[in-house]
Structure 1
């Protein structure tokens, strides 16, 4: 991958329009850039706008890395990281981390202390928290499949004590509740801009699907249905923009699938960003929240787009 070079042409041919409505989101003068390479499996990007830095995880190397927008330099921020995977930021600006190695969800306080938000449910140890989002009311939602228990490469070998579930943490009371236990391998998750719909990747369904659920009273999920049939694709982590489009890490099967697949709120595929590697997860960031950061196997890529990430 060290031989990869950005396109010299604009519009960048890596940005493919699959439906006319995607034309609005492609910036004619913006090109895919590679910010850094050297990971074994890049995951969990999260943007800290006040510091102008991007954090992401590298599971096999057991570290969290940091890229500084001003200097365009990357460095190791936390090592070991307890095999950190998905990450996000809460409404107070603190880092929330899913840790495969310790089978828990943590919060890094302003002074650097690490607070455990969840490591058990009903007296049983969590499996391997995978991805996480925080809603406007401050609650923390995360998926807990057993993927990190399979090997010491991406986590720590172990036996699951619980079914694969989606959980909600009420950070005021500390209460943890299971909101879904019938999704086949829950993986990436994200809310619609109005938080009335939760999307979850079912990564053990064949083919993989992205499920949609109505959210009732900010805590209950009803009317689960398949929004997107991935067919040969492999959706993983994803984010939603202010218009409700789903920007999904994608790949596996052929070079044409690797990158980011973009879906309209009705589930129609409208665009694709081709990358030379499978994209595992992504986030919006940058000064105007219009830069897409894509954690893709060994590297992190970026692209300015004509929308902003939903907050």
Structure 2
């Protein structure tokens, strides 16, 4: 089946070499001001609206430059597609327990598949390529969050939640880097489970949320895409930090108890209230000034005066 985006029915092949993750507009929710006028980010120009609902658990939305949103309904094992002005529809059934999603500059879709414990890339013809499924011969835990730089470097987190913990072959949680050419690289082995992941506007800082430690770590990224100089940027986050997003001013958006927005220096600016607990957030739509939020069984959006970074 060919989708409106140009994606076709999927076929799968392995990347080599590798050594080695219903109804619309239900309600409009009034929002507090996002940020003071002196802050980098700005308050939304419209209320937050619910654009899709009725799912078991939504997460990891990603906006395509072709004009649609992809998000995961992980327990129902499917990817959903939302086009402005339409109802959300199924993009892919039997999606292997999809979690994190991201698009690259070529419009290819990257997905963390928790059941086969791998990261895949789907091209516009529907061909699915496995980018990573093992580290040093052992299967990954269950990739969760993913981000792709403008230069094509892929970064993803590899925690393990629930039953996944009983099936682990690796004795650590990981953050990984897949360069455009060459084998997978290990960035870090955090003590707690890494989850959401994002890049700064210039791609030179990598951010990783840690679900157990309730913090966000930052890493410097060099010209080769390699990450180093780990440090804690934000700590003591309220709730369970999940997905991350960054605006073009470098502010960091953390899905937790609401969407907590921090300055590039790690100072809390404001918390965006959502009526359901958020799991992820992503910029998209016209001029990248809409913030999409997946939250429990729904998806929300808010129009902002600030653009997304990527």
TM-score, length basis structure 2: 0.87
Shift of 1:181: 1.4
Partner of 1:172: 181
Counterparts of 1:108-187 in structure 2, within 5 Å, are 108-147=122-161, 150-151=162-163, 158-173=167-182, 175-187=183-195
1:58 aligns with 2:73: yes
Q: 1:199 to 1:156 in 2, by over 3 A?
A: closer
| Aligned residue in 2 for 1:46 | 62
CA RMSD, 1 decimal:
2.1
Partner of 2:248: 242
Q: Deviations over 1:212-270 (max 9, x none)?
A: 1222333333322211113433221011011000111112xxxxxxx211111111111
* Cα drift, residue 110 of structure 1: 1.4
How many positions carry a matched residue from both structures? 287
Give secondary structure in 2 for the equivalent of 1:184. coil
1: distance between equivalents of 2:132 and 2:138? 11
In structure 2, what is the Cα distance between the partners aligned to 1:18 and 1:286? 21
Deviations 1:21-65 (A, max 9, x none): 3485113x4110000101111111011132x21110011111101
Distance in structure 2 (CA, Å) of the matches to 1:162 and 1:83? 22
| Alpha-carbon distance between aligned partners in 1 of 2:263 and 2:71, rounded to the nearest angstrom | 26
Aligned to 1:232: 238
| Residue number in structure 1 paired with 2:27 | 5
Question: Which residue of 2 is the match for residue 305 of structure 1?
Answer: 304
Report the Cα distance in structure 1 between the residues aligned to 2:139 and 2:43, rounded to whole angstroms: 44
Q: 1:128 to 1:229 in 2, by over 3 A?
A: same
Please point out which of 183, 207, 216 is paired with 1:210. Answer: 216
Q: Secondary structure at the match of 2:232?
A: strand
Does structure 1 residue 88 correspond to structure 2 residue 86?
no
State which of 42, 47, 50 in structure 2 corresponds to 1:25: 42
Q: For 2:146 and 2:134, locate their aligned partners in 1 and report how far apart those are by CA, in whole Å.
A: 16
Measure, in 2, the Cα distance between the counterparts of 1:310 and 1:192. 7
Instruction: Answer yes or no: is the 8 Å Cα contact 2:260–2:270 preserved in 1.
Output: yes
Aligned position for 2:196: 188
Distance 1:24 1:109, change over 3 A: closer
| Residue number in structure 2 paired with 1:72 | 86
- Cα distance, 1:125 vs structure 2: 0.5
State the Cα distance separating 1:77 from its structure 2 match: 1.0
Residue 35 (structure 1) aligned with residue 58 (structure 2) = no
Say whether the 8 Å CA contact 2:158–2:175 is kept in structure 1. yes
Q: Render the CA deviation track for 1:87-133: whole Å, top value 9, x for unaligned.
A: 00022110000000110000112111211111111111111001111
Distance 1:292 1:54, change over 3 A: same
8 Å CA contact retained: 2:141, 2:165: no
Secondary structure of 1:54 counterpart: strand
